[in-house]
Amino acid sequence: MSRAAEEALQVWERDARGFHGHRLRLAGVALVLVIFYVVSWRLAGIDLERLVTGLPKLGHWLASAWPPKTDELPVFLLRMAETVAMAAIGTTVATLAAIPLALLASRNITPFPRLYTPVRWVLNGLRGIDAFVFALLFVACVGLGPFAGVLGIALHTCGSAAKLIADYVENAELAPLHAVQAAGAGRITAIAYALVPEILPAVLSTTLYLFEFNVRASTVLGVVGAGGIGQELKSSVDLLDFQRLFTIIAVILVAVTVLDQLASWLRKRLV
């Protein structure tokens, strides 16, 4: 066998071994995924038979929801406005509180590098605990009502907003900041005039997105007594008053759709 043929054979054998190794890795990943979903299926209690037997009941409830009750529509609109107010105040307070935390959590500009990791841990903790859980805790602290919902939204959103703003800062171009500092400006002045204008559109867009999300999330905070239209939603479900429930859901859908369209319109002009 010639030398060229031997080299070609060696290359083919090496490629074949690599191909088989790649197939083995793919088979291993596929096996792990199958096991994962089998275990998840069991843990989630998936029962298709119960679904099939329950669908007729759901159909009966939907049929009994028509026509919707409109005699309490002013109350529902007031509760929906309360929900939007909770989301607006909670998101605004959270964003304002998130800005200094984001500066501490930005590796490239933090004035206290030793605080970078602890602040990131705090932000992860705030993001990891849902606003629903925070609202439940604050209901026990400050009592029933929308104030507990505002506090719950603010804490959870603060962690999310600060993390996103910190990511924007870490990915921002710092040449203008360094140039302003080289001209003799202080650190805070340089950040205000060189960094903030660059990241401001992204921060405002993120705030609008978080506001949209919080409006939708706030609709269920009333389940734990944190105010808003969720209280009316829960009472309708408890009483099996599906005509009233249909009206509440319709109010929520209309309000969320209008706010989403308004936020999208604003976002296009900010970014």
Average pLDDT of the residues in 188-205: 75
CA distances for 125 relative to 23, 42, 51, 147, 255, angstroms: 40, 29, 36, 22, 31
Alpha helix stretches (DSSP H) within the chain: 3-43, 48-64, 73-104, 116-128, 131-142, 146-171, 175-182, 187-190, 196-218, 230-238, 242-270
Asked if the structure places residue 237 within a domain, the reply is yes
pLDDT level of residue 229 (50, 70, 90 thresholds): confident
d(CA 28, CA 157): 39
**Mean pLDDT (the chain, rounded):** 79
Asked if the structure places residue 152 within a domain, the reply is yes
Structural domain tally of the chain? 2
Cβ atoms of residues 134 and 149 within 8 Å: no
Note the pLDDT of residue 114: 84
Asked if the structure places residue 183 within a domain, the reply is yes
Cβ atoms of residues 159 and 237 within 8 Å: no
Same domain, 247 and 125: yes
Same domain, 20 and 91: no
Average pLDDT of the residues in 87-101: 89
**Residue partners of 153: CB distance under 8 A and separation at least 6:** 86, 87, 90, 91, 94, 131, 134, 135, 214, 217, 218, 221
Domain range for 30 = 3-64
Tens digits of residue pLDDT in 136-189: 888 888 877 888 888 888 989 998 888 888 888 877 776 666 676 677 666 677
Picking from 19, 38, 64, the residue at the C-terminal end of a domain is 64
Asked if the structure places residue 69 within a domain, the reply is no
Global pTM reads: 0.75
Same domain, 124 and 181: yes
Same domain, 133 and 225: yes
Same domain, 45 and 80: no
Note the pLDDT of residue 15: 54
Same domain, 124 and 207: yes
Same domain, 49 and 157: no
Same domain, 227 and 154: yes
Picking from 64, 85, 105, the residue at the C-terminal end of a domain is 64
Asked if the structure places residue 265 within a domain, the reply is yes
Note the pLDDT of residue 4: 57
Picking from 64, 82, 97, the residue at the C-terminal end of a domain is 64
Same domain, 57 and 84: no
Same domain, 152 and 265: yes
Asked if the structure places residue 259 within a domain, the reply is yes
Same domain, 221 and 89: yes
Asked if the structure places residue 113 within a domain, the reply is yes
Same domain, 110 and 231: yes
